[in-house]
């Protein structure tokens, strides 16, 4: 089964489900930028006020006659407060993910982000953090495959201009965290606690990603998909990703090399500040 056939099949099956608002192909904009993506991900938007059973949506979507794979349902809220539910399937060696999003929560998130209100949560599978700002990236970068009443098109339009208040909050919040984390990394390096140092260094890089995306007024798509995109942003330190990779290559039990890695991250932070 081709990807296009799979997409059409799922959309056709879900059109009749009450409470469903639309379906989006996630990170379609990243595909156009030639950034590799780990399989197909579809976001199924529903209205939480409709009283629908979200499990019924996923079961309907994955009743594909030619599917030869595994269906794995989670419980509502099991992943996090921000992930209503999801299913991972394999169709003829093609990996596909179906994620549920509450369209009401998306609308609220757009309102909050437009005011510069940014929430941060712990989330399994994210080494740094989960921010609902990603919701804006999903609808902004995604392709609308089906939109029952035009609600998704309206929400997408609201993300067209990157909010000035969001830009300011993202830059201030994550620059501060990057700077603080670098100081913490320096202290841990002197104690030869490599695992902690490496973890803190990742936080520094993740914060720099957030700042650079905000500087470029581009939405943060997903923590797992940002490295290549960050390196292609117009406003960014020269050879950004190459230097990040070199810093992590140098992180080891050799104290001098670890200090050299921290120096690289400090220079990236300084150069990012100069671009504000």
The rounded distance, in Å, linking the Cα atoms of 75 and 77 is 6
CA 26 to chain centre: 10
More confident: 189 or 240: 240
> What was the pLDDT predicted at 170?
97
Percent of the chain with pLDDT over 90: 51
pLDDT, mean over the chain: 84
Domains within the chain, CATH numbers bracketed: 3-158 (3.30.460.10), 164-274 (1.20.120)
Convert the pLDDT of each residue in 73-90 to its tens digit: 455 555 556 665 566 666
- Asked whether residue 34 carries a pLDDT value surpassing 50, the answer given is no
Q: Which residues pair with 94 in a beta bridge?
A: 91
Nearest to 155 by CA among 114, 98, 204, 211: 114
Residue whose token pair is 């943060």: 220
Nearest to 79 by CA among 43, 118, 138, 126: 126
Q: How many CB atoms lie within 10 A of CB 61?
A: 24
- Asked whether residue 71 carries a pLDDT value surpassing 80, the answer given is no
Confidence of residue 65 (pLDDT cuts 50, 70, 90): very low
Convert the pLDDT of each residue in 119-170 to its tens digit: 888 877 777 888 889 899 999 999 999 999 999 999 999 999 999 999 999 9
The rounded distance, in Å, linking the Cα atoms of 159 and 213 is 14
């Amino acid at each position: 089964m081709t990807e296009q056939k799979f997409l059409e099949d799922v959309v056709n099956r879900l059109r009749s489900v009450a409470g469903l608002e639309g379906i989006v192909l996630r990170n379609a904009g990243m595909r156009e930028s030639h950034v590799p993506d780990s399989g197909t991900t579809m976001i199924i938007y529903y209205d939480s006020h409709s009283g629908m059973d979200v499990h019924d949506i996923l079961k309907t979507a994955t009743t594909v006659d030619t599917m030869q794979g595994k269906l794995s349902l989670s419980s509502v809220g099991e992943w996090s407060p921000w992930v209503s539910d999801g299913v991972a399937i394999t169709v003829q060696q093609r990996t596909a993910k179906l994620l549920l999003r509450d369209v009401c929560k998306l609308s609220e998130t757009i309102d909050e982000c437009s005011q510069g209100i940014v929430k941060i949560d712990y989330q399994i599978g994210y080494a740094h953090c989960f921010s609902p700002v990603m919701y804006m990236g999903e609808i902004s970068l995604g392709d609308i495959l089906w939109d029952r009443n035009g609600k998704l098109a309206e929400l997408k339009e609201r993300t067209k201009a990157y909010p000035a208040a969001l830009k300011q909050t993202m830059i201030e919040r994550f620059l501060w965290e990057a700077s603080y984390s670098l100081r913490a990394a320096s202290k841990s390096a002197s104690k030869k606690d490599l695992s902690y140092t490496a973890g803190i260094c990742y936080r520094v890089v993740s914060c720099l990603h957030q700042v650079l995306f905000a500087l470029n007024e581009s939405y943060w798509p997903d923590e797992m998909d940002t490295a290549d995109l960050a390196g292609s942003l117009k406003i960014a330190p020269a050879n950004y990703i190459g230097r990040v990779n070199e810093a992590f290559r140098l992180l080891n039990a050799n104290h001098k090399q670890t200090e050299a890695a921290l120096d690289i991250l400090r220079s990236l932070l300084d150069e990012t500040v100069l671009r504000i």
